[in-house]
Chain A
Amino acid sequence: MQERKVNNIVCRCEEVTEQEIRDAIRKFNLTTVDEVKRLTRAGMGLCQGRTCGSLMEKILSEEINKKVSELLPLKKRPPVRPIKIKLLAKKERESE
């Protein structure tokens, strides 16, 4: 692969660089985006990978020579957007 600058920020929330992601994939033989997330914190911030997820997939697919479509997708969990704890704590219906 062509040598290039890899200190680009991939995850803006947690400030994780492309190099950190590539290093982690190589060091731990990672094969899933979830693992990249767990070991680098990329995708663990406010946006939960909604911005950087596809970049992480692309980097991983390059590193392990697989198509993006062959990768296990990043596990999605609620909430869809950040939500205040006090709203989570609120009763949905009066009957409850």
Chain B
Amino acid sequence: MNKTADVTVVGGGVIGCSIAYYLAKKGADVIVVEKNKGPSFGASGTNQGACPLQLFEPPVLELARQSLKLYKNLSEEIGYDIEYDNVGALVCSVDEKQYSDMKKHVEKKKKQGINVRLIEREELLKLEPTLGENVVVGVEEWESCGVNPFKVNYGFACAARRLGARFLFSTEVGKIEKDKDKVTSVATDKGKIITNFLVNAAGAWSPQIGKMLGLVIPVKPRRGQIIVTEPTPLNKRWRCISDADYLLTTAFDLKATEVSKDKRIKLGVAGVYLQESTGNWTIGSSRDFADYNTNVTMQTIRYIAKRAIKFIPKLKDVSCIRTFAGLRPFCYVDGLPILSKVDNPQNFVIATGHAGEGITLAPITGKLISELIVENKTSLPIDAFSFSRFKNAYLQNLG
């Protein structure tokens, strides 16, 4: 028998489940379609759960800021502990040449209204004895947090379900049917869903969904590799420490990483070192393109390990218990998310391209997409994330 829904969301990751939750909260009848056996089988289940605010730049910065605000009370709101952890964020450099850049970083962040503080080497070492002799300077800020990404994903899913949302797992979209300029139904291997809206939150797989409607969604899977260690005693002050090079490898500057002579930068290795409340460290990460391959590579893992020891020398005698890799939906035109309706079909909504920032941006993405669908306007401007921004890029490609 056919199912009917106000909104069908493709993708049961943290973005899809957040959208389902905020839509259900507004009274919409939602169905989530996920091809895997449960949530968190893509990027949502293969990340560190770090949300370091000072690493964001406009226009995404405002989304991150609002998302962090939503995270603060999320456990209470959805009735499930997402392990919100007020770890703050320290961006740290081990390169003398970066000193002036770090000073500029502080000035810029202050102008953006982020409460950052520059900390010189001596004070860094005093406040955090696990930091190594190599550190040059650091910038701290306490608006950032860590969360348990699995729990965020399942928490949103369960809260949505309580509000009436339905979840179809192990269900794959086969065909999307259209009538003139509107999607009418979604055919899956478990039956047809007649729907008023269709949301593409399929992350690294979102281009395949777009293709069913003849749309080119300029997103490709970018692989990130991460090391997990056994627990160690908790750090005194900072449990979320980022390599200043992070700004270099994550910003949309693929050219800079490509032309770099440093093999590490070429592999996109720049760390966020996050110590969870359990004492375990997740040591990230890297950025490379390997299609849909989720294997880790020894070479990249080696560079990640080597780099981590530079920042936190005591990690060298700590055991790695696991490595893993995940696929981030990366927009190869400008590196920005796509949060947008499209002209045709007019009831098709795209929410993807979050790259390595999906966990940070999940709550605000759900909220904004629900507003876009139910109220046809959003509480924050999302023009910068519009699908129409690609028109020119396409023409250039064709020309």
Contacts and interface: CB of A to CB of B under 8 A. Distances in A.
Q: Size band of the A side of the interface?
A: 20 to 34
A88 B40 contact: no
Interface in A19-63: 27-28, 30-32, 35, 38-39, 41, 45-46, 48
Identify whether the interface residues of A are mostly helix, strand, loop, or mixed: loop
Contacts of A90: 302
A21 to B, nearest CB: 15
Interface in B134-154: 150-151, 154
A38 B45 contact: yes
B324 A31 contact: no
A41 B320 CA distance: 17
Interface stretch (B198-206, B216-224, B305-313): B305-313
B229 A85 contact: yes
A88 B227 contact: yes
B38 interface: yes
Given A77-B296, A85-B309, A45 B40 contact: no
B364 interface: no
B123 interface: no
A31 B322 contact: no
A79 B323 contact: yes
A28 B157 CA distance: 9
Contacts of B278: 41
Contact of B302 (A77, A79, A91): A91
Nearest to B158: A28
Contacts of A91: 302
Nearest to B322: A77
A72 B230 contact: no
B305 A88 contact: yes
A86 B317 contact: yes
Contacts of B1: none
A83 interface: yes
A45 B231 CA distance: 9
A89 B302 contact: yes
B298 A92 contact: yes
A72 B41 CA distance: 12
B320 A88 contact: yes
Interface string B285-324: 0000000000010100110011011000001111111111
B37 interface: yes
A35 B227 CA distance: 20
Given A89-B305, A89-B306, A83 B317 contact: no
B390 interface: no
B37 A72 contact: yes
A39 B154 contact: yes
Given A32-B37, A48-B321, A83-B319, A89 B309 contact: yes
Given A31-B37, A85-B227, A92-B298, A45 B316 contact: no
B332 interface: no
B132 to A, nearest CB: 13
Contact of B151 (A39, A72, A85): A39
B319 A32 contact: no
Interface string B150-183: 1100100010000000000100000000000000
A30 B158 CA distance: 12
B309 A86 contact: yes
A84 B321 CA distance: 9
Contacts of A45: 321
A31 B296 contact: no
21 contacts: A27-B158, A35-B37, A38-B45, A39-B150, A46-B230, A48-B321, A72-B37, A77-B296, A78-B296, A79-B322, A82-B230, A83-B319, A83-B320, A84-B317, A85-B227, A85-B283, A85-B308, A85-B317, A86-B309, A88-B320, A89-B306
Interface of A: 27-28, 30-32, 35, 38-39, 41, 45-46, 48, 72, 77-79, 82-86, 88-92
Given A77-B323, A78-B323, A88-B320, 12 more contacts: A38-B150, A39-B151, A77-B324, A79-B320, A79-B321, A85-B309, A86-B309, A88-B227, A88-B301, A88-B302, A89-B305, A92-B302
